[in-house]
Amino acid sequence: MKTVHLGLYPTLADWEFGYVAAGINNPDYQHEPGSFRIVTVGATRDPIRTIGGVTMVPETTLDEVDPQDSTMLVLPGAQIWERNDAFVDAARRWTAAEVPVAGICGATMGLARAGLLDDRRHTSNAPEQLTPTGYAGAEHYVDAPAVTDRGIITAAAIAPVDFAREVFALLGVYTPPVLDAWYQLYGQQDPSGFYALADEQ
């Protein structure tokens, strides 16, 4: 089974990882049903409280995970990315091991701080959000909901569906026709996507 690690840290943005987690853990429509799972990872095993007031407990810690045993590191936004050094370092470790990293909203600041956006196409909530990091990749900024470049996914806070689509595409969770139907339903709010998904089962 392929493990996707989901980072947990205080003030985690609840709405930014839901589509990713649901799609990876739900075998319906998957190309290889049951081949993926989500495992939560924290800097410690201490419970964290999300920005929505939900308490979550990491299943493992960064020190206990070898990036080679991971399929992807998913980093939601939070209000602490200016000082979330443990996960900035983790993003570097995963990338050095040639394992994909996906960051949305404030997590793009962490990827910028890690130097991972200096020479990759990327996006965020706005170019100005990344400027204080001092990164050198401003010329590669793309005004798009989500962007994938050489194993790094970035997305804006308002685009959790687009973020999930990029994750699913990079991991091969769904076949292209299923992914198109999934996005038609959830990204474009087109009910015919539901029937397209049913036809693909």
Domains of the chain: 2-173 (3.40.50.880)
pLDDT in tens, 32-49: 998 999 999 999 999 999
Position 26 scores a pLDDT of 86
pLDDT of 13 reads: 98
Catalytic residue positions, numbered: 105
- pLDDT interval class at 22 (50, 70, 90): very high
Q: How confident is the model at residue 82 (pLDDT cuts 50, 70, 90)?
A: very high
Q: What is the percent of the chain where pLDDT is above 70?
A: 100
Model pTM greater than 0.95? yes
Is the predicted pLDDT of residue 95 greater than 80, yes or no?
A: yes
Question: At 200, is the pLDDT very low, low, confident or very high (cuts 50, 70, 90)?
Answer: confident
* Residue 27 pLDDT: 87
How far is Cα 151 from Cα 100, in angstroms, rounded to an integer? 5
User: What pLDDT digit, counting tens, does each position of 47-73 carry?
Assistant: 999 999 999 999 999 999 999 999 999
Map residue 123 onto helix, strand or coil: coil
Q: Which two tokens stand for residue 20?
A: 């990713």
- Strands (E) in the chain, as ranges, are 2-7, 36-42, 48-49, 55-56, 60-61, 72-75, 101-104, 146-149, 152-155
Amino acid at 11: T
How are strands ordered across the β-sheet holding 72-75?
60-61, 36-42, 2-7, 72-75, 101-104, 152-155, 146-149
* Residue 201 confidence (pLDDT) above 80: no
- The pLDDT, as a whole number, for residue 3 is 98
Q: What is the mean pLDDT of the chain?
A: 96
Angle 159-31-33 from CA coordinates, rounded to 5°: 100
- The string of pLDDT tens digits covering residues 147-163 is 999 999 999 999 999 99
**pLDDT of 165-199, one tens digit each?**
999 999 999 999 999 999 999 999 999 999 998 88
pLDDT given for residue 127 in this prediction = 98
Residue 29 — pLDDT band, cuts 50, 70, 90?
confident
